[in-house]
Structure formats: C-alpha cells, structure tokens
Chains A and B, each alone.
Chain A
Amino acid sequence: MTVQVYAPDGATGPDPATLAPSPPVLSGLRIGVLDNTKPNAGLLLGQMASRLAERTGAIVAHTETKNAALAAPDQVLGRLTKEMVQVVLTGTAD
C-alpha cells in the first residue's frame, strides 16, 4: 500500500543578495580585489586580477580585506566604491 509523506525541505525565500550582471568587456574597467583573508586567498585573487588585467586591458585598482565568516562591512564596500571599482574578484571558503 502506498503512503503519502511530506517533503522535509519546504519553500525558499528570495536570495538575500544577487550578483550584478557580468560586464561584456573588461577593457578599461577598474578591478578590485576583496581578499577574504584565508591562507593564499590574497595571493590567488591578486594573481588572477593581474592576469586579467594583462589579458584584457583592465586596471587593478584596489585591494580590500574582509573576514571570511562575515559579510563585507559597509566601510569596505564604501572604499571599493570610492575607488570607482567596476569589477570585484572575491572568493568563499579556504
């Protein structure tokens, strides 16, 4: 005999934040690095930014740091905005 049970996961709400659409062309844009301060994150992100700049003509404009376990504080985002950054490279986890 079949049995009906509830699914245990339920509905989801809207994402608390969404990514901005990627720019079609990086040439001339200012790249910011948001280092989550995990080991090697700054090295990896910095190298990626440099390679991107070499290949596309973008400019590595500014680097900020944040705690990996928390959202970036408004002051950090404000400094990136102040530096007129249009693309931000960041990462999660280790």
Chain B
Amino acid sequence: MKQKPDTTHSQAGEPATIELADDRPETLLRHFEAQGWGDGLPMVAPTEDRVAAMLAGLGGGGSPDEVVATLPPRSGLATPRLIAINAVLAGCAPAQMPVLVAAVEALGHPRLNLRGVNATTHPVAPLVIVHGEAARLGGFNGGAGAFGPGNRANATTGRAVRLILNHVAGAAIGSGDASTQGGPAKYSYCVAENIEESPWGSLATSVDVVSRAHEPSDADGPAPVSAVTVHCGEAPHNVHDMESADPAAILNKVASTMASLGSNHGPISQAEFFVALCPEHAATCADAGWSRSDVAAYLFQRARLPAGEVRAAFALRAWAPWLNAVPDNELLPMTEHPDNIRIFVVGGPGKHSSVIPSWGMTRSVTVPVASNPGSKPDTAPPTDPPQGA
C-alpha cells in the first residue's frame, strides 16, 4: 500500500471570509500584512468567483473541502479550496491546480519531514519538479532560464507553495520558520523537467525515485505520465563547463560542487543530491554511453572529501554505520548511496548545470498528478476568470 499523508480529518469546513473596504491591491496587502500573511509581494484578491474558477482547474469531481494533507507545525488542513485560495493569491492559472495539489500531497508525506523543513535554521525550500504531461498542460518551463523568472506557471506555482506553507502550515518567519538568513528559493522554487531533451527519459520513471523505489506496489503499475517531485534543498549551485567533451571531465566539476563542508551532506549521510544537468552536458554523457545510473555512480565515487577532514568539521554526525569505519586518511562519499544522487535534465542552450544539495533530514517525494478530465492534450486548459470577477 502506498503510504498516505498524515491526514487527521477527511473534510474541513469552508474557510472564513473577510470583508475589505475596497478592491484595491493595497488594501488587500495592508490587511494581509497586519495578519502576518503573505510573502511581502502584492497578491490577487481571493474572491469567491476567482477561487471557484481556480477549483475548476481540477476538472470537477471530489469535494473541494476534502483534506489533501495536514501540514505541520500548525496542523493546517490543506484542502483543494484552500489550495485554490492561495493559488489565486499567488497569481496562478487554473491549469496549474493539478500540479499544486500533487505538490501539497507530497509536502504532507511523513518521509518529507515538513515539520523539520519548516522549523530549521537552514535556508531550505521545497523545490517542486514537474514531470511529463502535467508540465505541458500547466505551461511549465523546463527549458532556457527555467529556474529563473519569466514563466507564469513556474513562478506562481512555487509562490503558491510558499504561501500555503506560510498560511496553512504556519511556517511564517519568527514563529514557524527559524531560518537564520532565509533565501531567495523560499519565495518561489518550481521547475519543469526538460524531458524532450533528456536522453534518459523522465526522472519520474526511474526506479531511483523514492516513492517508487520504496513503495513496491506502485512500481507494479505503469510509470506515471504526469508527476511531481518535491525535494527540500538549497537554491541551485552552478556548475560551469564550456570545454569538456567527455563525461568524466564535466562530472568532475559537478562532484567538486557536491563535495563541500558547507552543506548538510557532510554531517548527514542519508541526504539526497538533485543534479540538474543542462541538455548539452546530459547529451555529452549519453552520447558516450553513460546511463542515468552511470552518472550517479560516478558522482558517488568522485564527490568525496577526506574522512578525517569531515570528522574534524562535524562533532555531531548522522552517518550510516559503514561510513564510520572509513579511516581518516581515506576519502568519504558525500552521501551514503549512489541512489541518493538524482539526475534530471533542465535548461536550454549553454553549458551550465547545477547541484541542489539537501537540507538533510528529509527525503524527496514523488507523487502522480491526477489526470484532469476537463483537459485533453489538444484542448485549451481552463483559464482565468473574467476580469473583475
């Protein structure tokens, strides 16, 4: 059986409404700021009409007040309606709703340890990776500049996740989020996988994906066409290689970026790396006959530091038992197993890849995106409500 999110209620009541003096954005922002809500940026007012239009992005069926996940530390009950309210605030289009609901389901999975993710002093943010048909239907960008601005689906889905964490999960700075410095990824952190240019297909079809590798009943079925992975980690660390024509030379630079005493991978061996290869770097690897697991195996072998150096840096270590036996004068891998290195393809032309280190005490979660009966590949997705709604 697939492990379900920790839902303690099956249904929640309809959220409360607030009467604002007028419909100006400044009025909404002022009221939200006074309540400790929002992310500091202007928002779209979640009126009943707009929220209904957003919910239509799920294609009907199911209760809008059915609990999708219970989100700590506030124990907030995330429902489709509440997700839609925050989606409106963030500026989402209704076509993004299936992805957003799947992302919230992933956030509620016990393995992700959202309580720790929200509470830590680390600058961790949940990265939402959209796989397959859901990316196309929702208008997500996995190509040029995908981690950056300019695409509504990426920008507003990531922002909606943050607003849901702030509002529903109670992860506001100072109360539910103790992050020392915060980080730009906490505003919005969402990207599509560039499956069209991935020589290895989708990460979501890989046996390496946590939800499939550890939940065998799921692996019996067909690979999900649409899925979302949530990985709680740092902002991307750039890997620049313009000149190498062989995989090892490129991956040596990736490994160098991974092998750092500054990340939580030194003291926590279970932590996963997500490595976002650009299409050109991925092609160099694949053209030389390297599979996705070959790349991970090589990085596992190369991303290492002297064991004594890591021991000296961290008095407190959560290491797999076998790592404790590595002598000080030998090299220590930055994670305990090659399967903890997740390879996917993102980006456009150019030769920049990135490494996304983990917070550590979390595991990524991949969940399928529910098919939307109202959206077929050749029809337009649900759209925004009319102006003034």
Contact = CB atoms under 8 A, between A and B. Distances in A.
Interface string A27-68: 000000000010000000000000000000000000000010
A2 B20 CA distance: 6
A80 B45 CA distance: 51
A11 B71 CA distance: 11
A73 interface: no
Interface in B43-80: 45-48, 51, 67, 70, 72, 74-79
A92 B178 CA distance: 11
Interface residues of B, number: 50
B13 interface: yes
Contacts of A10: 12, 15, 76-79, 82, 85, 167-168
A16 interface: yes
Interface of A is mostly: loop
Given A13-B9, A16-B72, A8 B85 contact: yes
B75 A15 contact: yes
A77 to B, nearest CB: 17
B167 A8 contact: yes
Contacts of B37: 8-9
B75 A12 contact: yes
B256 interface: no
Q: How big is chain A's contact interface, by range?
A: 20 to 34
B74 A1 contact: no
Interface in B1-35: 6-9, 12-13, 15-23, 28, 32
A4 interface: yes
Contacts of A6: 15-18, 46-48, 51, 85
A12 B72 contact: no
A4 B23 CA distance: 9
Contact of A4 (B48, B76, B89, B163): B48
Nearest to B37: A8
Interface of B: 6-9, 12-13, 15-23, 28, 32, 37, 45-48, 51, 67, 70, 72, 74-79, 82, 85-86, 89, 113, 116, 119-121, 163, 167-168, 170, 178, 316, 318, 360-361
